[in-house]
Every structure is written in structure tokens, then in C-alpha cells.
């Protein structure tokens, strides 16, 4: 057996069978090959100072062996090993966050809730500004709809862009009034049964060859309780504009909300886009008032 070996492998040597020098030679060759700067054997001084320890007495091996025999060892599964490492890493991460004053998502939410609870929020704090007079919307309608609107509408006034009482009952006129905007549109309808319902369209209404829009689009109804119908992800039949009709939501040949070119007759069916109920009392309805509000 060679007289010098790396200190990190001495404990294992004593377990080799007596006279089995081949393993020791192979291991030594491995260290010399991969780390010649540390384990080069050129000269006895290099061997003594290059990371090797000269074993003068066999008794030293016995002492090392006794040391490892007295240690407590535990065999861990791979999963348990990783679990314990994760626990250590988590503790270190929490400590680091505390030192750097990093706030976790849960802590941020908790602090936000405390801050909101401590504020004296008035009943009109989230009430939007309406530019125009509505013949349909009541304060309770506005309150419910405000909560459901997409984030990009927050902070903008509601501007009345089109209404049948002011512009007449014409789908073509509705398209023309929306030619100069790219803001989301709130379509509100009151039918002859006094039912209020409609849709939030992610894009202005226009004539199109195909369906357009995004998942921000949704349907809603007050019957009389408010209910909104958000995108299911089943399809992307959001908005379809034709010269003689306007449709919102679709699937299996039926539309969630459909209006004719005179904005007088409409239909509402279940559709896969929003998984909605019929918005009106009956599938076919007649429009009394219709308004389109934009957020700009």
C-alpha cells in the first residue's frame, strides 16, 4: 500500500481486505490524473504538501476507525434527503428575506388587507364618473358592474358613446360611432319586459369576417339579481359583427347575445363561450333602450 494517501479517504482504507493494494493504486491514480496540482508525486516534498498525509503507524487507522464506529448514522431515502434539504433551504430563505426585508406574496396580501381595513372608505370611493345621462343604469347596476370590469378600465370615466334614444336604432350608426375608439365597450340593454342585461366587449364593435376580441369579454344580466358570465375557455367566439347583425358569444350555432340590424329585435341563448343562462326572460326579446359606454 502506498505510504501517502489523500486525507479525505483515509477512513475508508481500513475496511479494504489486507493486501488489496490494487484499489488504493487505482484511487491514487485517479486523484493524480484529475488534480495533478494537488496530488503530484514528483518529489517527496510534493507528496507531503500536496494534500496527502503520511501514515506513520497502522494504529492511526485504528483510531480513525474507532472514531467512525462511535458516530451515529442514519440511512435516508432519496425523498427524505431532499425533503430535509428543502427544509434547510426554506429556513435559510426566510432568514435572508428578514435580513433584506423582502415581503412574500402572502405577507403582502395580509398587509394590504390590514391597510384597507384601516381606511375610512366612503360609499362613493369606487364609483366611476359618468359622462352622459343613462336611461338604463341605476346606481346599483353601476356598483355591480364596476367590480366585474377588467383592470384596464379602472380609473377611466364611463363615456356614453351611443344610445338609441339619441342616435336612433341602427346597427350601422353604432359601428360608425365606434370607428375612432379602441377602448372596451359596455353594452347595456333594457328590453320591453324591463329586464336589464348586456355585455362587456373587449374591443369596439365593427364589421368583421371572423370572431374577434379577448377573454375580457363577458355577459351579464340583472334578473333581478346580478350575475356575470365570464369566458369559459371552451372557444374564442367573443364578438362577430355583420352589416345586418351583431353577435357576442357562440357555439353549436347559437349566440349568447344576438341583435338585428335595427337594434330592435334580439335573442339570447346558452353558449359555450360563456356558459350563460338566457339573459332575457324569453329567448327572443324586443329592445326598449340600448346604450354603449366606453372607458376613455
The per-residue pLDDT for range 188-235, each reduced to its tens digit, is: 999 999 999 999 999 999 999 999 999 999 999 998 899 999 999 999
DSSP conformation letters of 145-170: HHHHS-GGGTTSPEEEEEEHHHH-S-
Which residue, among 244, 240, 262, has the nearest Cα to 253 in the 3D structure? Answer: 240
pLDDT value of position 116: 46
pLDDT value of position 206: 98
Q: Which three cell numbers stand for residue 217?
A: 369579454
Q: Can you give the C-alpha Rg of the chain in angstroms?
A: 38
Q: Is residue 123 part of a domain?
A: no
Residues 187 and 254 in one domain: yes
How far apart CA 90 and CA 94 sit, in angstroms, is 6
Residues 62 and 162 in one domain: no
Q: How far is CA 161 from CA 10, 129, 139, 180, 260, in A?
A: 86, 14, 19, 11, 19
Domain boundary among 59, 89, 118: 118
Residue 81 backbone dihedrals phi, psi, to 5 degrees: -60, -50
Q: Is residue 239 part of a domain?
A: yes
pLDDT value of position 204: 98
Which residues of the chain fall below pLDDT 50? 1-4, 11-12, 44, 46-48, 97, 102-103, 110, 114-121
Q: Is residue 125 part of a domain?
A: no
Domain boundary among 35, 52, 69: 69
Residues 8 and 102 in one domain: no
Residues 235 and 269 in one domain: yes
Q: Which domain holds residue 240?
A: 130-295
Strand partners, 255: 250
Residues 39 and 165 in one domain: no
Q: Is residue 113 part of a domain?
A: yes
How far apart CA 148 and CA 141 sit, in angstroms, is 11
Residues 150 and 272 in one domain: yes
Q: Is residue 86 part of a domain?
A: yes
Q: Are 130 and 158 in contact (CB under 8 A)?
A: yes
Kind of pairing between the strands at 130-131 and 158-163: parallel
Q: Is residue 272 part of a domain?
A: yes
Q: Which three cell numbers stand for residue 291?
A: 346604450
Q: Is residue 56 part of a domain?
A: yes
Q: Are 295 and 200 in contact (CB under 8 A)?
A: no
Q: Are 181 and 241 in contact (CB under 8 A)?
A: no
Which residue, among 73, 283, 269, 279, has the nearest Cα to 189 in the 3D structure? Answer: 279
Residues 290 and 144 in one domain: yes
Residues 52 and 164 in one domain: no
Residues 221 and 141 in one domain: yes
Which residue, among 199, 226, 210, 180, has the nearest Cα to 292 in the 3D structure? Answer: 199
Burial of 232 (0-12, 13-18, 19+ CB in 10 A): middle
Q: Are 257 and 240 in contact (CB under 8 A)?
A: no
Q: Is residue 208 part of a domain?
A: yes
How far apart CA 146 and CA 130 sit, in angstroms, is 12
CA 135 from chain centre, in angstroms, equals: 39
Structural domain total, the chain? 3
Residues 36 and 157 in one domain: no
Residues 204 and 263 in one domain: yes
> Can you give the pTM of this predicted structure?
0.60
Task: Count other Cβ atoms within 10 Å, centred on residue 7.
Answer: 11
Residues 113 and 152 in one domain: no
Amino acid at each position: 500500500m502506498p505510504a501517502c494517501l489523500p486525507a479525505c479517504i483515509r477512513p475508508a482504507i481500513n475496511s479494504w481486505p489486507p493486501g488489496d493494494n490494487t484499489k488504493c493504486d487505482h484511487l491514487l491514480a485517479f486523484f493524480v490524473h484529475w488534480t495533478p496540482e494537488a496530488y503530484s508525486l514528483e518529489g517527496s516534498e510534493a507528496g507531503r504538501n500536496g494534500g496527502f498525509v503520511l501514515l506513520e503507524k497502522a494504529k492511526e487507522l485504528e483510531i480513525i476507525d474507532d472514531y467512525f464506529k462511535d458516530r451515529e448514522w442514519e440511512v435516508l431515502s432519496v425523498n427524505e434527503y431532499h425533503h430535509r434539504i428543502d427544509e434547510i433551504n426554506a429556513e435559510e430563505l426566510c432568514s435572508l428575506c428578514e435580513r433584506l426585508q423582502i415581503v412574500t406574496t402572502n405577507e403582502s396580501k395580509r398587509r394590504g388587507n390590514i391597510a384597507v381595513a384601516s381606511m375610512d372608505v366612503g360609499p362613493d370611493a369606487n364609483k366611476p364618473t359618468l359622462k352622459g345621462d343613462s336611461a338604463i343604469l341605476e346606481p346599483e347596476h353601476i356598483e355591480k358592474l364596476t367590480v366585474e370590469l377588467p383592470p384596464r378600465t379602472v380609473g377611466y370615466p364611463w363615456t356614453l358613446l351611443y344610445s338609441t334614444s339619441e342616435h336612433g336604432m341602427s346597427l350601422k350608426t353604432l359601428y360608425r360611432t365606434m370607428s375612432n375608439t379602441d377602448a372596451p365597450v359596455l353594452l347595456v340593454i333594457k328590453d320591453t319586459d324591463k329586464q336589464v342585461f348586456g355585455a362587456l366587449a373587449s374591443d369596439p364593435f365593427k364589421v368583421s369576417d371572423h370572431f374577434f376580441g379577448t377573454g375580457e369579454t363577458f355577459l351579464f344580466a340583472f334578473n333581478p339579481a346580478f350575475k356575470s358570465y365570464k369566458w369559459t375557455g371552451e372557444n374564442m367566439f367573443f364578438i362577430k359583427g355583420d352589416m345586418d347583425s351583431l353577435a357576442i358569444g357562440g357555439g353549436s350555432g347559437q349566440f349568447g347575445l344576438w341583435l338585428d340590424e335595427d337594434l330592435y329585435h334580439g335573442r339570447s341563448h346558452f353558449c359555450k363561450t360563456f356558459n350563460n343562462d338566457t339573459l332575457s326572460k324569453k329567448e327572443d326579446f324586443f329592445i326598449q333602450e340600448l346604450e354603449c359606454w366606453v372607458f376613455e
